[in-house]
Structure 1
Amino acid sequence: MKIIDQLEWRYATKAFDPEKLLPKEKVATVLQAFNLTATSYGLQPIKLVVVSDKALQATLVDYSMNQKQIAQASHVLVFCIETNVDKAFVAEYFERVHKIRHTDKQILKPFKDFLVDDFENKTQQAIEAWATNQAYLALGNIMTVCALEAIDACPMEGFEPEQYDQLLNLKEKGLKSVLLLPIGYRAANDMFSNFKKVRRPLTDSVIIY
């Protein structure tokens, strides 16, 4: 039941202790968890930008609805989507499959051709919406890992993506920011850490046939 205990422990941290930084080993675990997140077709149309420069974090507060956690956190994780999910992107994935699993390219070709055709017929808006869904999967996965590692976190949608993209030079990297997750350790005076969780009864949130 440790995982349930830790999920009870976690909350959307409203104040971080700016003096307490995450050790490198903890950060490495979080990054590995991101990379191991399941994504549609295994294509990983997402990247994670890690911000730990305190001056930059302070600047980003202005573009994060003035949420102070951005400046206080040990690290700010910026979840980004790839904007160029095209034939070359798909081909790169199948090259990786071939290299790692040694699967014959002729066996991979039908699925590869299907995905190339599928994405070529999608609008850019549809591709970005699909990629954003994958970012949410990664966010949920990392939040669970953070709970298990006793790392505090606060998921955020309220920010100005265009400003983040500009400050972090994301457009030049073919990326767009879609979600934020400041992580670190809760401040001792964050009263929200002692609030009881408000959830529907399990019988109201789960239907079993």
Structure 2
Amino acid sequence: MFDQAGVSYPDKNWTWNDLKQKSDQLRKGLDKQSYPLAMEFSSGQDSYFNLLLQAGDKIVLPEGKTDVANDKAIAVYRDVQGMLNAGLIQPPGEMEASDVFQSNRVAMVYAGSWWALPFSQNELIKDHIGVVPMPKMAEQAGVSHSLAFAMSAKSQHKDAAWKFIEFMSSEHAQQTLATGKVVIPANQKVAKEWG
């Protein structure tokens, strides 16, 4: 889609302003059914949590309270809203952002590492996709895309829950997550096997 619109590819040093500029160039060079960018707004993990962290927001304060309505966060929300209004971001709808990307109707998508395998196996896009870090805002930051296992303090089955947590945290289970390209595992011994 970048080639079709005559837009240079992003690189590892790009910024949020570069993303907005490329999105604007893509909007002008693509048909009206295509979009420069997609984000999954139903889950902050793929989109706005990353943007808030990059803007310098801490999301969770040291005392454990959330803070997503401060000046930095509001500036991010307004910027994204402006991009939505300008047709630079695909409007939220029934299809997830990653599905729209896989249908070759979006040039860029914020997506977690678990999408690497489906993207690489999709015949429609696999030969013309690439990966770059998220564009830098005030700082380079992002949320962790791994799995965590927890148990309720009120669980009626604590022994079974502990056994499950121990198994899923084991090197064997973590290696299965890595080699299956499910998600980059938290176990650093096998995390490199993911990619």
- After TM superposition, is the score higher than 0.5? no
TM range (shorter): under 0.3
TM, length-normalised to structure 2: 0.23
Higher strand share goes to which structure? 1
Higher helix share goes to which structure? 1
